[in-house]
């Protein structure tokens, strides 16, 4: 589902810019693409057992995307833009 507008059911957090997308693996890994930042982030995870009680996969994967995007914004603030 594209991130062209906020949606009630998506694994992408609301902070991610339009055009962002990700591919999710069956053991918890994720590949997040943020074209606006020319960035790709990969979360490696190899879960083979059940999730702990109270765990929300959607909250967890949204937090991953929000954390990556927040870090990219901090990097942009400190970037040297001189030619």
Give the integer Cα–Cα distance in Å for 4 and 80. Answer: 30
| Tally of residues, the chain | 83
Question: What pTM, to 2 d.p., does this model score?
Answer: 0.77
Mean pLDDT value across the chain: 84
Model confidence pLDDT, tens digit, residues 7-32: 666 788 888 998 999 999 888 789 99
Is residue 81 pLDDT above 70, yes or no?
no
DSSP state of 14: T
Domain coordinates in residue numbering, the chain: 17-80
Q: What is the pLDDT of residues 26-51, one digit of tens each?
A: 887 899 999 999 999 999 987 788 88
């Amino acid at each position: 589902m594209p991130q062209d507008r906020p949606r009630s059911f998506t694994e992408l957090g609301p902070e991610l810019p339009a055009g962002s997308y990700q591919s999710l693996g069956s053991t918890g890994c994720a590949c997040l693409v943020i074209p606006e930042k020319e960035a790709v982030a990969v979360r490696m995870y190899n879960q083979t057992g059940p999730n702990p009680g109270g765990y929300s996969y959607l909250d967890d994967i949204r937090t991953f995307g929000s954390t990556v995007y927040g870090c990219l914004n901090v990097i942009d603030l400190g970037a040297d833009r001189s030619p």
